[in-house]
């Protein structure tokens, strides 16, 4: 009799646990744990969003509870309401082959998946660091799906190519610059040399360094890879080929020497807005914002869009992507990570609606909770 009662109690406990896990979320609560349909905190960090055939797909870094290397790969979740997410499993798995570019123990960060309207394929770009080399490799990885994704290759972008806006004279000048002449960083001379292409020129033969990154697809279907190059000092915006699997060789530098990481971008009323972070490892810092009428620049730097308490630390977050809620005119959402280096897996997700001033300037305010369903009422 006693045993029977214990058994009933256990079964009831299991049923309750399952039903709690499957509870439906009605709001997004930035900074709180974000349980998936099974009740597990969503493990998709440095991620990005894709909308396809009525569903959102959230791709991000599957991070371990301890440590900094990639042991699983890129995880994907799906949702139809942006609040309740189903873990769809590993979209791109690490390789078990020794010496493989994405061998288990490498570092895969900030994956972004876009659909190529011409080929109908999904393409993933991500920041890749090779196993055992810390952050020295500074490469971009390419993968393509049907499903799951197939790793194609990794590289440093635009080997042998100079920025599109560099004249012959600029190239000649840059080629003369030598790192040995600028051993001390942050002096006015060093800043000038960086602007003129000290590290750019160093990296032209092998391709530009490529760390924090995003991918942007413009209205005409052309895709661009935006990444931190030159030891994280300078952003590059590089055009991808029609299949999104290579570079056309056209690229520009944005804010040379400005130390921008975590690029996120969107377009509203014909203006491109880019929100980035500074470079302070896993620690938060004050975001930066840029605007341009053309992706090719010029990019004008503006103050951080964050306002209110803790705005100087961007509410203790670092951006990862900006998306628009389907069916809204300008329901843009800033997706960010609140990194927890003690347990990257448990880093929190901060999603905040972007507001706009009368002149169109984006503003990000803290909200404790919001719902994409009530888009109008929270603005």
According to DSSP, residue 35 is labeled B
CB-nearer residue toward ligand DGJ: 321 or 370: 321
Residue closer to ligand DGJ by CB (options 280, 294) is 280
Minimum CB distance to ligand DGJ, residue 74 (Å): 14
Cβ of residue 324: shortest distance to ligand DGJ, in angstroms?
A: 23
Q: How many CA atoms lie within 13 A of 119 on its CB side?
A: 15
Query: 193 or 338: whose CB is closer to ligand DGJ?
Result: 338
The whole-angstrom separation of Cα 230 and Cα 370 is 39
Out of 89, 281, 303, 360, which residue is the one contacting ligand DGJ (CB under 6 A)?
281
Size of the site for ligand DGJ (CB under 6 A): 9
CB 125 within 8 Å of CB 105: no
**Are residues 354 and 322 in contact, defined by beta-carbon separation less than 8 angstroms?**
yes
* Tokens, residue 294: 């053309």
In whole angstroms, the minimum distance from the beta carbon of 318 to ligand DGJ comes to 6
DSSP string covering 336-374: EEE--TT-GGGPEEEEEEEEE-TTS-EEE---S-B-GGG
Other Cβ atoms closer than 10 A to 300: 10
Could you say whether residue 258 binds ligand DGJ (CB under 6 A)?
no
Binding mask 23-62 for ligand DGJ (x = CB under 6 A): -----------------------x----------------
> Which 58-117 residues touch ligand DGJ, going by CB under 6 A?
109-110
Position 212 contacts ligand DGJ (CB under 6 A): yes
Choose, by CB under 6 A, the member of 318, 323, 344, 350 that binds ligand DGJ: 318
Contacts of 118 (CB under 8 A, 6+ apart): 221, 242, 243
Instruction: Considering the complex, state which of residue 116 and residue 276 has its C-beta at the smaller distance from ligand DGJ.
Output: 276
Cα–Cα dist 25/19, whole Å = 13
DSSP 201-250: HHHTTT-----SEEEEE-TTS-EEEEEEETTTTEEEEEEEPTTSSSEEEE
Which of residues 241 and 280 has its CB atom nearest to ligand DGJ in the complex?
280
CB-closest chain residue to ligand DGJ: 281
Q: Cα(93)–Cα(149) distance, rounded to whole angstroms?
A: 8
Of residues 92, 112, 40, the one with CA closest to residue 346: 40
Report if residue 239 touches ligand DGJ, rule: CB under 6 A.
no
Quick one: which of 51, 182, 190, 282 contacts ligand DGJ (CB under 6 A)?
A: 282
**Which of residues 30 and 278 has its CB atom nearest to ligand DGJ in the complex?**
278
262 binds ligand DGJ, rule: CB under 6 A? yes
Chosen residue from 36, 75, 144, 261 binding ligand DGJ by CB under 6 A: 261
Nearest-angstrom CA–CA distance, 253 and 200: 9
Q: Does 221 bind ligand DGJ (CB under 6 A)?
A: no
- The residues in 121-140 that bind ligand DGJ, with binding defined as CB under 6 A, are none
Name the burial class of residue 43, with classes exposed (0-12), middle (13-18) and buried (19+) by CB atoms within 10 angstroms of its CB. buried
Question: How many angstroms separate the CA atoms of 327 and 324, rounded?
Answer: 9
Compute the least distance from the CB of residue 246 to ligand DGJ, in Å: 24
Chain residues that interact with ligand DGJ, rule: CB under 6 A: 46, 109-110, 212, 261-262, 281-282, 318
């Amino acid at each position: 009799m006693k045993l029977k009662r214990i058994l009933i109690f256990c079964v009831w406990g299991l049923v309750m646990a399952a039903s709690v896990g499957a509870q439906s979320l009605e709001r997004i609560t930035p900074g709180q744990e974000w349980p998936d349909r099974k009740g597990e905190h969503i493990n998709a960090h440095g991620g990005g969003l894709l909308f396809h055939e009525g569903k959102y797909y959230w791709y991000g870094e599957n991070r371990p509870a301890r440590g900094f290397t990639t042991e699983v790969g890129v995880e994907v979740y799906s949702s139809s309401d942006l609040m309740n997410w189903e873990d769809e499993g590993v979209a791109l798995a690490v390789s078990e082959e020794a010496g493989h570019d994405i061998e288990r123990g490498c570092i895969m960060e900030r994956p972004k998946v876009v659909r190529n309207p011409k080929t109908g394929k999904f393409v993933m770009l991500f920041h890749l660091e090779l196993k055992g080399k810390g952050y020295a490799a500074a490469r971009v990885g390419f993968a393509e799906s049907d499903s799951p994704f197939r790793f194609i290759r990794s590289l440093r972008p635009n080997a042998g190519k100079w920025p599109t806006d560099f004249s012959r004279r600029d190239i000649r000048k840059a080629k003369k610059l030598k790192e040995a002449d600028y051993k001390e960083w942050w002096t006015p001379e060093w800043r000038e040399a960086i602007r003129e292409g000290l590290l750019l020129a160093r990296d032209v033969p092998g391709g530009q360094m490529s760390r924090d990154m995003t991918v942007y697809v413009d209205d005409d279907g052309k895709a661009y890879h935006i990444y931190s190059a030159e030891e994280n000092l300078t952003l590059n915006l590089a055009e991808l080929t029609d299949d999104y699997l290579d570079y056309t060789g056209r690229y520009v530098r944005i804010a040379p020497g400005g130390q921008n990481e975590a690029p996120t971008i969107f377009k509203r009323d014909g203006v491109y807005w880019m929100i980035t972070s500074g470079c302070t490892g896993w620690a938060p810092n004050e975001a930066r914002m840029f605007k341009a009428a053309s992706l090719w620049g010029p990019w004008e730097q503006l103050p951080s869009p964050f306002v209110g308490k803790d705005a100087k630390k961007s509410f203790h977050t670092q951006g990862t992507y900006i998306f628009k809620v389907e069916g809204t005119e300008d329901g843009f959402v800033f997706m960010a990570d609140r990194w927890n280096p003690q347990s990257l897996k448990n880093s929190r997700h901060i999603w905040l609606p972007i507001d706009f001033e009368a002149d169109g300037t984006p503003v990000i305010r803290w909200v404790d909770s919001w719902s994409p369903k009530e888009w109008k009422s929270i603005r």
